[in-house]
């Protein structure tokens, strides 16, 4: 879909919004790109859109074009304190469906209280980067199925990095796993970002949950990061996920931000 209009605040020149690829839209004023929109399909099937525009009216035009071109429902993420961004999505017909807390998580075992934590009997923690590919991929697929059938993706952070269709494990070096009776039963994914590592997911097989495996994975991973000189990591937790919230707040994680997932149906 292409949209053209004169938009106040941009020099009053005609603005053309055009789809330049399957997943990208440009708002153009003369020969200048004044706004961009992107779409990405997440591994869980959610279609997320993002818009970068200086002017609210340009944002609105891009949102209009993307909503016309793409199938509903459409998802978006906005920092809750950014009232302008939240309002822009609401103008475009998006409504808030959930909140995610952003936590700053200490790694020092003297602060977290995890120094004395050991895996449950019969469970071995395989440190980040040492997991075997085939059993890790098999576990990841099982966990995705269990999440969909259980708590659902509403309990999993919305800001999941886009991945190729059907591929849920991209970089083996980011995973720690828990092994029990010769098979993998839990995993933790940590992304070594430039400014601060980010815990992307902690998940344990339904049959062995509530035995301390997630806590042991977290203890081992945070301790390794602490010994390497990292003082804190970032994590996002859905407000509705009481178990994860209790886990992080119980080790001294500090809530420093909140983000909203919005949906247009």
Give pLDDT tens digits for 23-52.
999 999 988 999 999 999 986 788 999 999
Domain 102-258 fold is Aminopeptidase (3.40.630)
Q: Please name the helix (run of DSSP H) or strand (run of DSSP E) that holds residue 238, with its range, or none.
A: strand 232-238
pLDDT in tens, 127-181: 999 999 999 999 988 988 887 776 555 555 544 444 445 555 557 889 999 999 9
Q: Indicate whether 95 pLDDT > 80.
A: yes
206: buried, middle or exposed (CB in 10 Å: 19+, 13-18, 0-12)? middle
Domain spans, the chain: 3-100, 102-258
pLDDT confidence of residue 208: 95
Are 112 and 231 in contact, with CB atoms under 8 Å apart?
no
CA 213/CA 210 separation, integer angstroms: 7
User: Average pLDDT in the 179-187 region?
Assistant: 96
Distance CA 82, CA 86 (A): 6
Helix pair angle (56-69, 83-91), 10° resolution: 40
Q: What is the pLDDT of residue 99?
A: 94
CATH architecture of 3-100: 3-Layer(aba) Sandwich (3.40)
Give the largest CA-CA distance in the chain: 70
For residue 146, say if its preceding peptide bond is cis, omega within 30 degrees of 0. Answer: no
What is the CA 1 to chain-centroid distance, rounded? 29
Query: Alpha helices, DSSP H only, in the chain?
Result: 56-69, 83-91, 109-112, 133-149, 213-227, 242-249
Q: What average pLDDT does this structure show over 175-201?
A: 91
**pLDDT score, position 2:** 43
| pLDDT score, position 6 | 45
Contact of 222 with 233, CB cutoff 8 Å: yes
Whole-angstrom distance, CA of residue 177 vs CA of residue 167: 18
The Cβ of residue 221 has, within 10 Å, a number of other Cβ atoms equal to: 24
Reading the block at residue 85, the tokens are 């961004």
Choose among 98, 85, 91: nearest CA to 159.
Answer: 98
Query: Which pLDDT belongs to residue 9?
Result: 46
State pTM to two decimals: 0.77
| Predicted pLDDT at 169 | 57
76's tokens: 């978006």
Q: What is the mean pLDDT of the chain?
A: 88
pLDDT above 90: residue 191: no
Two domains, one topology: 3-100 and 102-258: yes
């Amino acid at each position: 879909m292409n949209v053209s209009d004169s938009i106040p605040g941009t020099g009053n020149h005609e603005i053309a919004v055009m789809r330049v690829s399957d997943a990208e839209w440009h708002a153009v004023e003369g020969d200048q790109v004044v706004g961009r929109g992107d779409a990405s399909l997440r591994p869980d099937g959610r279609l997320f859109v993002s818009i970068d525009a200086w002017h609210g009216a340009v944002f609105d035009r891009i949102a209009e074009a993307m909503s016309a071109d793409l199938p509903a429902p459409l998802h978006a993420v906005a920092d809750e304190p950014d009232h302008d961004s939240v309002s822009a999505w609401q103008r475009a017909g998006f409504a808030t469906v959930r909140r995610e807390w952003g936590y700053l998580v200490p790694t020092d075992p003297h602060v977290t209280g995890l120094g004395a934590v050991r895996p449950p009997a019969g469970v071995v923690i395989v440190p980040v980067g040492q997991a075997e590919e085939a059993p890790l991929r098999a576990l990841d697929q099982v966990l995705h199925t269990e999440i969909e059938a259980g708590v659902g993706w509403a309990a999993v952070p919305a800001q999941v990095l886009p991945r190729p269709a059907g591929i849920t494990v991209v970089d083996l070096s980011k995973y720690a796993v828990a092994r029990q009776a010769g098979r993998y039963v839990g995993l933790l994914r940590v992304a070594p970002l430039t400014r601060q590592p980010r815990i992307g997911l902690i998940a344990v097989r339904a049959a062995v949950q509530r035995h301390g495996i997630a806590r042991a994975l977290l203890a081992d991973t945070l301790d390794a990061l602490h010994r390497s000189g990292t003082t804190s990591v970032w994590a996002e937790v859905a407000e509705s996920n009481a178990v994860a919230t209790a886990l992080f707040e119980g080790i001294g994680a500090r809530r420093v931000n909140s983000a909203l997932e919005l949906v247009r149906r």
